[in-house]
Structure formats: structure tokens, C-alpha cells
């Protein structure tokens, strides 16, 4: 187990190193920090002097090491637009995005298990066919279109829900304001969460259904039935436990994917999160902020994937850790 852990962490560090190289290459080639600092009206001589002082004439290696050293200490540069440390800007926007992901996750977890189990137990029931039909339509509608559709129906036509922003938030601590503690906050987060969940929910329903159907064919389920255990107990205690393993793995990877989809939902709902901020940074060519976003998102992906792999190794007794480790 220890060898596996070390190897997995080592791989994560290697990937973060590659991401930081990409981030630095972007920083090096995109925009001119000097122009952001002093504008156009400075003579060439002063420019050269400033370049020397800022270390912009150093070799690629020296500059990268400086960049990586600063990054390790949490300094990812200063945003040109906000005039604040880029990492602070992102961390301020992070809670909004995380709450969106949390809302969507609640919907997905709450609905996918009962729907998946039901469609697996009664594959030919009319309701199952409807669920499966809706799920393939759900997969075929892009997130942003679901979001637009919901805004059009629930905000423009009926006016039940607000169409943009976070509404009234309650301060928790630090830079974390939450939507979950006020009625207005709930109203604002509902549509974006449903939109974000709409693309993942069908995937999970189908995954749970497929895994469940396979497990229901297995010997131990037949034995449990023969033994006379109540069906409810067989489905939810014996069978479901064994379907959850692949679901956890896929789920962990999908959390990262969901961060990408938040960019789309946040754009449609003008949700003041990281994704919305990133697109604005791109439009303003705010290089430090773009690079910082790349590194933070890369970090989220690497950490979730590493944790999911480790959990998988721990939970699944059939994974041969010795073989995977060394």
C-alpha cells in the first residue's frame, strides 16, 4: 500500500510540474508585463533597465525556477485588472463555484441512486423506459442549452426564479459566503444547480443501472433470494454496495469535469464564480489570472484524481496493490 501511495503521489507531483511548465510558458509568451506596469510612454533605455530589474532578461530556466518557487509559496503573480494577488482573487471566487458543484452533487446523488436501482430492478416497466428515454435526451442536450431553456421558462415566462447572480448570501467565515442559509440564496442556486446536474445525472443513472443489472445476475444475489431475504434488503444492502465501487471512481473523475461545466453554467447565469472570472480574465488578457486559474484548476483535478485512486485501492479488495505499486 505504501509503495502504491508513494508512486501515486509522485505521479501527481510530476503532473503538477508539467502544468506549472505550461503555465510558465503561457506567462512568458502572453502579453507584456512591462506595458502593464508603465504603459507605452517610457523610453527604450528605461525599459531595458526595468527588464533587467524585473529579471525578464534572465534565462528561461532561472525565470522558471523563480516562478515555481513563488508558486510553491502561494504567490502566483498579481492580477493586472484587480491589482491584487491572483490567488486571492481566485480564492474569493472559489466558494461560489464550489457551492454550485455541491448543489449539483446533492441533486445527482439524491436522484441517481433510486432511479438507477429502479430501472435495473424493473427494466421493462413503462416508468423505466420513460426514465431511460429522458436520460438519453438529457445526455444529448448541452449544459448551456438546458440553462438557457430553464431561464426562458422559469425566469422570463413565469418569473418564478431569478435568472442571474447569487442573490442574498450569508457570510460564514473568511471569504466564504454561502447560498444555503437564506431563502433567497436557495432560489438563486436552484436553477444553476439543476442545469449543472442535468448533464451528469443521466450518466450516473445509466452507470448505476448497468452495474446493478450485472450484480443482480450474480450468484450471491440468487442465493440471498433463495434464502428468503426481503427484496428491499437484497437490492439496497447487498447489491447496491457492490455497484457503488465503479460509481465512486467515475464520480471522482466527474467532479473535475463538473468544474469545467461550471464555466458554462456560470456564464449563462452570470454566477460570480471562478469560471465566469476566467472568461473575463481571458477577454482582458489578464495573464497572471489566467495562469493562476490554470494552476488552481490543474491542482483540483490532480488532487481529486489521486484521492479517488487511493480510495479505490483501499476499498476494492480485488485491486492487487503490489502489482499496481511496484
Partner 1 sequence: MSSLSTNPEPSRLSKAWNSNMAYSFRRNPVAVVSLAIFLIITVMSLLSPLIAPFDPYDPAQIDIMNSEYPPIWVDGSDAQFMLGTDDQGRDLWSTILYGTRLSLLIGLCAVGLQAFLGISIGLISGYVGGRVDSLLMRLADIQLSFSTLMVAIIFLAVTQAMFGSETFNQYAVYFLIAVIGVAEWPQYARTVRATVLAEKKKEYVDSARVLGFGPLRIMVRHILPNSLSPIFVISTVQVANAIISEASLSFLGLGMPPSQPSLGSLISSGFDYIFSGSWWITAIPGVVLVVLVLVINLLGDWMRDILNPKLYKG
By beta-carbon proximity to partner 1, the closer residue of 68 and 213 is 213
Q: Answer yes or no whether residue 56 interacts with partner 1 by CB under 8 A.
A: no
By beta-carbon proximity to partner 1, the closer residue of 179 and 188 is 188
The separation between the first and the last C-alpha atoms of the chain, rounded to the nearest angstrom, is 10
Contacts of partner 1 in 288-307 (CB under 8 A): 290, 293-294, 297-298, 301-302, 305
Which residues does residue 78 pair with via DSSP β-bridges, in sequence order?
85
H-type alpha helices, the chain: 2-29, 33-38, 44-54, 60-72, 86-121, 126-140, 143-150, 183-216, 219-227, 231-233, 240-269, 274-283, 287-315, 321-325
CA distances from 264 to 68, 107, 144, 258, 282 (A): 30, 18, 6, 10, 15
**Contact pick of 152, 160, 220, 223 for partner 1 (by CB under 8 A):** 152
**Contact pick of 63, 249, 267, 316 for partner 1 (by CB under 8 A):** 267
Are 20 and 295 a contacting pair, CB within 8 Å?
A: yes
Question: Minimal distance in Å, beta carbon 156 to partner 1?
Answer: 6
Q: Answer yes or no whether residue 136 interacts with partner 1 by CB under 8 A.
A: yes
How far apart CA 47 and CA 34 sit, in angstroms, is 8
Window of 63-71, 102-110, 144-152, 180-188 that interacts with partner 1 by CB under 8 A: 144-152
Q: Answer yes or no whether residue 26 interacts with partner 1 by CB under 8 A.
A: yes
Q: How many CB atoms lie within 10 A of CB 54?
A: 12
| Residues at the interface with partner 1 (CB under 8 A) | 11, 15, 26, 29-31, 136-137, 139-145, 148-149, 151-152, 156, 163, 217, 253, 256-257, 259-261, 263-264, 267-268, 278-279, 282, 285, 287, 290, 293-294, 297-298, 301-302, 305
Amino acid at each position: 500500500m505504501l509503495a502504491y501511495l508513494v508512486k501515486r503521489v509522485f505521479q501527481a507531483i510530476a503532473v503538477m510540474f508539467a502544468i506549472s511548465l505550461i503555465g510558465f510558458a503561457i506567462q512568458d509568451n502572453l502579453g507584456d508585463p512591462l506595458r502593464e506596469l508603465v504603459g507605452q510612454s517610457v523610453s527604450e533605455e528605461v525599459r531595458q533597465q526595468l527588464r533587467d530589474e524585473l529579471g525578464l532578461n534572465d534565462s528561461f530556466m532561472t525565470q522558471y525556477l523563480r516562478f515555481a518557487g513563488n508558486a510553491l509559496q502561494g504567490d502566483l503573480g498579481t492580477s493586472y485588472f484587480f491589482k491584487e494577488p491572483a490567488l486571492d482573487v481566485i480564492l474569493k471566487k472559489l466558494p461560489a463555484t464550489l457551492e454550485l458543484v455541491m448543489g449539483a452533487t446533492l441533486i445527482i446523488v439524491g436522484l441517481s441512486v433510486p432511479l438507477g436501482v429502479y430501472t435495473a430492478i424493473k427494466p421493462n416497466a413503462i416508468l423505466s423506459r420513460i426514465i431511460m428515454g429522458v436520460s438519453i435526451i438529457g445526455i444529448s442536450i448541452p449544459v448551456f442549452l438546458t440553462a438557457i431553456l430553464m431561464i426562458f421558462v422559469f425566469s422570463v415566462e413565469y418569473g418564478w426564479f431569478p435568472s442571474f447572480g447569487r442573490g442574498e448570501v450569508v457570510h460564514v467565515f473568511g471569504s466564504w459566503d454561502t447560498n444555503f442559509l437564506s431563502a433567497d440564496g436557495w432560489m438563486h442556486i436552484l436553477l444553476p444547480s439543476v442545469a449543472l446536474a442535468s448533464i451528469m445525472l443521466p450518466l450516473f443513472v445509466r452507470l448505476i443501472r448497468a452495474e446493478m443489472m450485472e450484480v443482480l445476475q450474480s450468484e450471491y444475489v440468487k442465493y440471498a433470494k433463495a434464502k428468503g431475504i426481503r427484496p428491499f434488503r437484497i437490492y439496497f444492502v447487498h447489491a447496491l454496495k457492490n455497484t457503488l465501487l465503479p460509481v465512486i471512481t467515475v464520480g471522482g473523475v466527474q467532479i473535475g469535469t463538473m468544474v469545467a461545466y461550471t464555466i458554462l453554467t456560470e456564464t449563462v447565469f452570470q454566477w460570480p464564480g471562478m469560471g465566469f472570472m476566467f472568461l473575463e480574465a481571458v477577454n482582458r488578457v489578464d495573464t497572471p489570472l489566467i495562469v493562476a486559474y490554470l494552476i488552481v484548476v490543474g491542482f483540483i483535478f490532480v488532487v481529486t484524481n489521486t484521492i479517488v485512486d487511493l480510495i479505490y485501492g483501499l476499498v476494492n479488495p480485488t485491486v492487487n496493490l503490489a502489482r499496481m505499486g511496484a
